[in-house]
Amino acid sequence: MNRKAWLLIVALLTLYGSIFAQNKNKGTITGSVFDSKSGEAIEFASVALLHPNDSSMVTGDVTAANGSFSISASHGTYLMRISFMGYNTYYHSSPITLSAKSPTIALGKIQIVPAATLMEEVTITAERSMVEYQLDKRVINVDKNIVTGGGTATDVLENVPSVAIDNDGNVTLRGSSNVTVLINGRPYELMGSDLETLLEQIPASTVENIEVITNPSAKYDPEGMSGIININLKEKTAGALGLNGIANLNVGAPLPFMVPDGLPSLIHTGMESLNLNYTTEKYNLFFNMDGGVRSRANKATNDIERSNNGTTYSKEHLVQLGQNQHYMMSGKIGGEYYFNPQTSLLLSYQLRYGNHQRTSEIESEDRFNLNDSLSYDQTDTNTNLHLNHTFTLSFVKKFERPEQQLNIDVSYSTRTGSGDGRQEQDYTLFPNAKWENYYLRETETENENQHANIQVNYVHPFGEKLRLETGYEGRISSSDQDYQYFMTTYDALPPHLLNKHILDNQSSTHYVYDRQIHAVYATLGAKLFEKLSAQAGLRGEYSSVEGNDENHPATEKVSKEYWQLYPTLHLSYEINKDQSLQVSYSRRVRRPRMWDLNPYLNIREGQELSFGNPGLDPEFTNAYEISYNLGINKVNIFTSAYFRQTNNRMTRYGFVWDAASAAYYSPWIAYNSEYDGYWTSTWQNLSKEMNYGLEFIVDYQILQWWKVNVSVNLFQSYIEGSDLLGGDDKSAFRTSGKFSSFMNLPKGWTVQLSGQYRAPFMDLQSEMLASYWADLAVKKDVLQKRGTINLRVGDVFHTGGFGHTTETEQLYRKFRSRRISPTITLGFSYKINNGLQKKRKAEEAEDDDGSEE
């Protein structure tokens, strides 16, 4: 860490030391909680005092055996929430104010209503809304979405409004792939995997909720043009002392008759997880373990025509069968110690293992001059192993003033990985030829990554209407990637070995990459008027990047530094209790990743090349948004209009490899005539892009037992003309939608139907085809609701897939891919709640003994 970063930390900690003044004016709120039906006192109910501006928790208590609670808090105005498993959440009818005149408030007897009641033979269960709207984000509650049962975090994100994932695992938000994904508020890189692999390794049952933040405040890293997706994982079970937890088991496979020849008849999936925690008044211990195998398969066709000066010189038809298998195992252990109700320290360690196997079978037929022909069979196999360790420390200090709080989070992750790949092509020069050409390309990889993240965040209220949040964030990462490629070739007459396991120096790379980001930030929130609130923020950031290919010293090195300011602004106006209006602005950045900069040649199936651009620069975006939320009776409507202007836009650009194209688009790569005709892609900077769109999300409680959620996103993009586009402008319109229907039926049955649609649209160089599919899930509570059986049918109508058509002066390509479906997954989960049950039984026994006397 350089000297400037240390100076920032010292200055910030000095500021903290000067503002830790304590507010001694305190009061007490008391009351008792009872069952509205039986009149019995409720023990272990959670009573929370919330800040009236954003409903954040200030302090709270857990009810005693007689249902009583007593909460000490500083003078101020609060909302109060009471929650307990099996009961509707209770909110006090009006704000509660503690003051010098009213230091003690007795609320008396409070009755809460059981969640399950019988009405017309239909069980009505009060559940959290699937989507909750807060000042600067939307929270999607995963436990409401049963179509993800037995799946992974990929399936969870596929069912989040505004979010989409394509068949390559790329995540988009409102049509943009420039989005930051966090895990528990931290960069996913700290988990030690690429995003696609990591999402496949996280069981859906371990996800608590998803936060979608389309215009984040200065507290967050500004990476990501379209916003932030934060995946919050379950770490402990709240609500009861003693032992608590949940176990999940899911198994699944596609229907056998839908699996084409060439693939295993059983493409299996099995996901298991166990989450346990033991809670006392002074500490909480937790243990999580999950693992299993997730398999996916697809069948694709690819028709390619290559041209030169308007004349077609080759045609190719590819048929590809592909299968991906993720074997995974993860274990996490940790504990949180409560020094007192205001201070706690959490320590955790996570071990994660992954084995990703990918197999692809390609049948190809080339036609040259439309007369001669050459066909080949290609087999691609790749295996990648990785093991990573993550250590986390989190310190929380709450002060006597409401909301005054200090958080210190430190995490360190190290990952080691290895892999091997094999691309084998067997050529037949003529249809009836008796001799062949043979080509084998093998890959050996070794990599090591280290990531450290430090964040210090302090919140200080000034009275009831002013709030300052400030902090420091540092992210330091280093990567060492060693990729070695070997070639083996046989000639045609007769077959004999020409080259055996010869190192391909041009494609091999040993890339060393280091990146540092240091930032200080501050946001000031204020209630300007009774209904108008504002929050302004500023983030100052220093970042540096160093990259070097040690195998190719002459290759252009990467060495860049950036000093940037990122302002943010949020305004919220409460029109009335049913309507609210929000306006926001933020400046954002998209930084090149390591592989975007690394110029090594990656030779892919189907005669394709890809490589990075060491001269690539970040892109910067100004994002504006206005949203309106309306809740009337059983309907909630969220509408948002947004506009983004991006300068120096980063984009993936493709061309056909030949001497002239290679010299123009990629002068940092040595020309190799062996790749003439290969479709090639690399990263480039464009001048400017503008995006604007409308988003609608509707939650409708049609009947007491039936609820639907519908979201639609309309998105227009405009790219200013550049040399890459021949000076022409480019525009495209996209639309997408999602639909979910939840039905709570008699005798504990729940049914969900979920569907998605993405309309066709024009990308920079390709026309993307429409894609649509539907999933169906049925859930049944058993064993007095301690167990749950979940049956899920994915892609019910066998429509899931995607495709695109690319047409340039050099290439025409038509690609179509269809997933192997429908898939059926059967799952079972069981809730462990021994601590609470034992306490209740012991107390009931004591009561019985007392009555007999």
> pLDDT for 626-679, tens place per residue?
999 888 888 888 899 999 999 988 888 888 888 888 888 888 777 888 788 788
Between 486 and 20, whose confidence is greater? Answer: 486
* Rounded CA separation 441/285 (Å): 50
Query: What pLDDT score does 455 carry?
Result: 92
What is the layout of strands, in order, in the sheet containing 138-141? 131-133, 138-141, 207-213, 228-233, 180-183, 186-187
Instruction: Please tell me which of 1-15, 496-510, 588-602 the model is most confident about, judged by mean pLDDT.
Output: 588-602
Query: What pLDDT score does 371 carry?
Result: 47
Query: What pLDDT score does 497 carry?
Result: 47
Query: What pLDDT score does 474 carry?
Result: 94
What is the three-class DSSP state of 153?
A: helix
| Mean pLDDT across 347-356 | 88
Q: C-alpha distances in angstroms, 755 versus 127, 152, 158, 257, 790?
A: 21, 18, 10, 23, 18
* Rounded CA separation 152/201 (Å): 7
* Rounded CA separation 203/253 (Å): 16
pLDDT at position 408 over 90: yes
| Mean pLDDT across 355-376 | 65
| Mean pLDDT across 512-538 | 91
pLDDT at position 528 over 80: yes
Q: Report residue 564's pLDDT band, with 50, 70 and 90 as the boundaries.
A: very high
* Rounded CA separation 205/207 (Å): 6
Query: What pLDDT score does 720 carry?
Result: 78
Query: What pLDDT score does 404 carry?
Result: 86
pLDDT, tens digit (0-9, with 9 covering 90-100), for 123-164:
333 344 566 666 567 777 776 666 566 567 777 777 777 777
Considering only 26-30, 371-375, 634-638, 693-697, which range has the smallest mean pLDDT? 371-375
pLDDT at position 519 over 90: yes
Query: What pLDDT score does 239 carry?
Result: 41
pLDDT, tens digit (0-9, with 9 covering 90-100), for 171-206:
777 766 667 787 777 666 555 456 666 676 677 777
Query: What pLDDT score does 149 carry?
Result: 60
Q: Which of 289, 330, 441 is nearest to 379 (CA)?
A: 441
Q: Dihedral angle at the C-alpha atoms of 57, 58, 62, 67, nearest 10 degrees? A: -100
pLDDT at position 452 over 60: yes
Across the chain, mean pLDDT equals 77
Q: C-alpha distances in angstroms, 614 versus 598, 653, 666?
A: 6, 15, 10
| Mean pLDDT across 687-697 | 88
| Mean pLDDT across 535-557 | 87
CB 538 within 8 Å of CB 565? yes
Q: What is the DSSP string of 17-41?
A: HHS------EEEEEEEEEETTT--B
What is the three-class DSSP state of 147?
A: helix
| Mean pLDDT across 332-354 | 88
Q: What is the DSSP string of 729-787?
A: -EEEEEEEEEEEEEEEEGGGEEEEEEEEEE--EE-SSEEEPPEEEEEEEEEEEETTTTE
Q: Report residue 286's pLDDT band, with 50, 70 and 90 as the boundaries.
A: confident
pLDDT at position 106 over 90: no
The label of the residue with tokens 């010292």 reads 10
Query: What pLDDT score does 476 carry?
Result: 93
pLDDT at position 844 over 50: no
pLDDT at position 335 over 50: yes
pLDDT at position 214 over 90: no
* Rounded CA separation 662/357 (Å): 32
Instruction: Please tell me which of 98-107, 161-170, 483-492, 612-621 the model is most confident about, judged by mean pLDDT.
Output: 612-621
pLDDT at position 16 over 80: no
Considering only 77-81, 222-226, 457-461, 697-701, which range has the smallest mean pLDDT? 222-226
Query: What pLDDT score does 347 carry?
Result: 92
What is the three-class DSSP state of 150?
A: coil
Q: Report residue 18's pLDDT band, with 50, 70 and 90 as the boundaries.
A: very low
Between 10 and 110, whose confidence is greater? Answer: 110
pLDDT, tens digit (0-9, with 9 covering 90-100), for 826-837:
888 887 764 444
pLDDT, tens digit (0-9, with 9 covering 90-100), for 802-823:
888 888 777 788 888 887 778 8
Of all residues in the chain, the percent with pLDDT exceeding 70 is: 78
* Rounded CA separation 465/531 (Å): 12
* Rounded CA separation 309/564 (Å): 46
Query: What pLDDT score does 851 carry?
Result: 39
Q: Which residues pair with 311 in a beta bridge?
A: 308
* Rounded CA separation 367/638 (Å): 54
pLDDT at position 86 over 50: yes
User: Could you tell me where the DSSP H helices lie in 110-205?
Assistant: 153-158, 195-201
Query: What pLDDT score does 399 carry?
Result: 85
Q: C-alpha distances in angstroms, 318 versus 150, 262, 448, 798?
A: 33, 15, 36, 22
pLDDT at position 544 over 90: yes
Between 75 and 267, whose confidence is greater? Answer: 75
Encoded amino acid at 617, one letter: D
202 φ/ψ angles, rounded to the nearest 5 degrees: -100, 115
pLDDT at position 494 over 50: no
Between 849 and 325, whose confidence is greater? Answer: 325
